[in-house]
Amino acid sequence: MELSRTIVFDLDGTLVDTAPDLINALNFVLDREGLPAVPMKSARNMIGAGARKLLERGLEVDGRHVDPGDLDRLTGIFIDYYAAHIADESRPFEGLEDALDKLSARGCRFAVCTNKLEWLSKLLLDKLNLSSRFSAICGADTFGVSKPDPAILQQTVLRAGGHLSSTIMVGDAGTDVGVARRANVPVVGVDFGYTEVPMADLKPDRLIGHMRDLPAAVDNLAAERQPQSNY
């Protein structure tokens, strides 16, 4: 019997264009510290490793380094502001919901595996009326590990009720390709997200430039990789 497919998505830069609200929160903190704002265009590629790393990268633009305790304080300010403005401008990428509808009709289940905190991920998806689409929403704090550690993907699939042998990862950055490779899961890369290294250079198994192309990419990969027998 064929196992139902589990499609695991990264969040920021893959499911949702969160850059405007994340960068606004970063610039709120920088302004409090008397530092200049980071331009939206250049800051997009700082996203993807969590709030603390985003702050570190933002501070480094002005050549400022802070001790761990001060970074903890600034991260707290960032998270409080971001949570209050989490969906002011963030929106699902064009074509997402139609792609999910088509894949769901084919029996796929969905999960989110992100380096964002779990409660912030759930808050964002709640605000966008997307939470009910996913069997599991897991963040960097859910299992105590972050991408590209394969444990976060393995545990996310387990929590969603899926099987690694019938899982496909979808993401926009090196951490997504890395976690998929380490978990022996095929990966679809999107080229509209946040990454310093172009997704094409990261060599995902399939590369798409719009969410409308996701169902075909998933079907193509699934046809290549039949689930392993449990016997």
The secondary structure of 11-69, three-state, reads: CECCCEECHHHHHHHHHHHHHHCCCCCCCHHHHHHHCCCCHHHHHHHHHHHCCCCCCHH
Distance CA 172, CA 202 (A): 10
Query: Active-site residue 31, yes or no?
Result: no
10, 12, 149, 172: the catalytic one is 10
- Any bridge partners for residue 189, and if so which? 171, 207
- Residue 144 CB neighbour total at 10 angstroms: 10
CA 137/CA 112 separation, integer angstroms: 5
Whether the Cβ atoms of residue 27 and residue 34 lie closer than 8 Å to each other: no
Determine phi and psi for 103, rounding to 5 degrees: -70, -40
How many other CB atoms sit within 10 Å of the CB of residue 88?
Answer: 12
The CA distance from 217 to 170, in Å, is: 10
CA distances from 214 to 32, 88, 180, 207, 222 (A): 41, 27, 17, 9, 12
Which of the residues are catalytic?
Answer: 10
